[in-house]
Amino acid sequence: MRNRFTHARPLSRAVPVAVAMAALLSTTACDDQPAGASSDGAKTLSLAIIGTPNSFEPTQLIDGQQTYIWDSVYDTLLTQDNKGGLAPGAAESWEYSDDARTLTLRIRKGMKFSTGTPVTSAAVKATLDRMRTTPGPNQTSLAAVKSVETNGDHGVVLDLERPDGALLSSLSGAAGVIGDPKTMTSKGAALNPIGSGPYTLDKKATVNGSVYVLKRRDDYWNKKAYPFPTIKVRVISDRTASVNALKAGEVNAGSVEAAQVGALESSGFEVKHVEATAAGVLVLADRTGTKLKPLGDVRVRKAINMAFDRDKIVKQILQGSGKTTVQVFNPKGQAYDPALERTYGYDPAEAKQLLAEAGYPNGFSVSMPSLVYTKPFEPTIAQSLKDIGISVKWETVPAQQTNSALISKKYPMFFTMDGLDTAPMEVRKNFNPKGTRNVFGTSDKRFDALVTQANREVDPAKAAKTYREINAFTVENAWNAPVFYVGTYWVTKKGITYLGDGSSTFSTVRQFGVTGQ
Q: Which residue has the higher pLDDT, 515 or 162?
A: 162
Per-domain residue ranges of the chain: 2-269+493-514, 276-487
Label each residue of 393-451 as H, E or C: EEEECCHHHHHHHHCCCCCCCEEEEEECCCHHHHHHHHHCCCCCCCCCCCCCHHHHHHH
Q: How many CB atoms lie within 10 A of CB 405?
A: 16
Backbone angles phi, psi at 273, to 5 degrees: -105, 120
Q: What pLDDT is attached to residue 238?
A: 81
Q: What pLDDT is attached to residue 76?
A: 98
Q: Are 198 and 220 in contact (CB under 8 A)?
A: yes
348-376 average pLDDT score: 97
What band does 63 get if pLDDT is binned at 50, 70 and 90?
Answer: confident
State the fold for domain 276-487: Dipeptide-binding Protein; domain 3 (3.10.105)
Q: What pLDDT is attached to residue 385?
A: 98
Cα–Cα distance for residue pair 103/161, rounded to 1 Å: 12
Q: Are 314 and 361 in contact (CB under 8 A)?
A: no
What percent of the chain has pLDDT above 70?
Answer: 91
Q: What pLDDT is attached to residue 32?
A: 33
Dihedral angle over CA of 488, 475, 374, 377, nearest 10: 80
Our CA angle for 97, 102, 107, nearest 5°, is 100
Lowest mean pLDDT among 16-20, 144-148, 365-369: 16-20
Cα–Cα distance for residue pair 337/193, rounded to 1 Å: 41
Cα–Cα distance for residue pair 386/440, rounded to 1 Å: 25
Q: How many CB atoms lie within 10 A of CB 69?
A: 25
What band does 16 get if pLDDT is binned at 50, 70 and 90?
Answer: very low
Q: Helix (H, G, I), strand (E, B), or coil: what is residue 320?
A: coil
- Answer whether residue 366 shows pLDDT above 80: yes
Q: What pLDDT is attached to residue 42?
A: 44
Q: Which residues contact 445 (CB under 8 A, 6 or more apart)?
A: none
Q: Which residue has the higher pLDDT, 485 or 238?
A: 485
- Answer whether residue 226 shows pLDDT above 50: yes
What percent of the chain has pLDDT above 90?
Answer: 72
CA distances (Å), origin 178, targets 89, 111, 227, 452, 509? 11, 11, 22, 29, 18
Find, among 340, 283, 278, the residue nearest to 479 by Cα.
283
- Looking at the domain that runs over 2-269+493-514, which CATH code has it been given? 3.40.190.10
Length of the chain: 517
Q: What pLDDT is attached to residue 8?
A: 32
pTM of the entire structure?
A: 0.87
Residue range 158-199, pLDDT digits in tens:
999 999 999 999 999 999 999 999 999 998 999 999 999 999
